[in-house]
Amino acid sequence: MLKFEKAAPALAGTTIDSQVAILQDYESRWSIKWQRHNSAFGPEDALISYYAPLRALARSIDIVADTAPLDRYKLVVLRR
């Protein structure tokens, strides 16, 4: 049995309440990948470059669409 399957009963009904969100505009990311102006730039690498330090501090980060409600977050990071 997998560890997650063993933990499932204890985790049932729980939620993670992230206070930090990274706003991700998927259409912009798609257009950057489609028409790159610099072959060294990767949108996923850019996201990870600031996700990792934030994750170390906040422990939980939501990646949300540009249409998501943001009022519950203490910090919202936007990268375009």
Is the pLDDT higher at 72 or at 7? 72
What is the model's pLDDT at position 19?
Answer: 94
The single-letter DSSP state of residue 39 is T
User: What stretch of H or E contains 54?
Assistant: helix 43-58
Q: How far is CA 22 from CA 4, 45, 61, in A?
A: 26, 14, 7
CA Rg value for the chain: 16
What is this structure's pTM? Answer: 0.64
Question: pLDDT at position 41, please?
Answer: 61
Confidence at residue 62, expressed as pLDDT on a 0 to 100 scale: 92
Domain boundaries, the chain: 16-78
For 33, phi then psi, to 5°, come to -65, -35
For 40-58, what is the mean pLDDT?
Answer: 78
